[in-house]
Structure 1
């Protein structure tokens, strides 16, 4: 199992943020299936202000490239991504077209 952490900002508008959270109370089955079919076994999203933080647990052979290819070939995922983009905004350091950005782990405490 692998763990990835990612970040993304939302448009800083309380109404849009509330709507975005409501959308995630129950996502469409096709979207959930596309996530698990890509090898993601667990996904959590947290928010503070307009910043989102995602934790993904994946199978060992998970690949972001494979997930991107699967998403590009899935009309429902493309429709979802286009729709939620109105709520989202790229992080200041993002390249054009970049949404969720991988975060670098800088600390880990293990009690053994």
Structure 2
């Protein structure tokens, strides 16, 4: 009995956010009804995961420790800044102000 209730709780934790995220996706994409599309579009972030995907990731991380490492790595990658000056000189570069593009060939060994 306890096992069945725990499976039911896990199914609800996964399926409810998934169904809500799917309904949000359909409303935002189709634009019907119009009043709901405006309300959802105002609350939808421009980047990042939706609520359903976040809940599914957290549940997966609860059951699998490797997923927790993946989530933490993803967050760390978003925080770190990419600089072109960190590594070797770039082979390609575009200067929008001057209107020039530079492409260098790799030196042959």
| TM tier relative to shorter chain | under 0.3
Structure richer in strand, relative to its length: 1
Q: Which has the larger radius of gyration?
A: 2
TM-score, scaled to structure 2: 0.26
Structure richer in helix, relative to its length: 2
Which has the bigger relative contact order, CA under 8 A and spacing at least 6? 1
TM-score, scaled to structure 1: 0.25
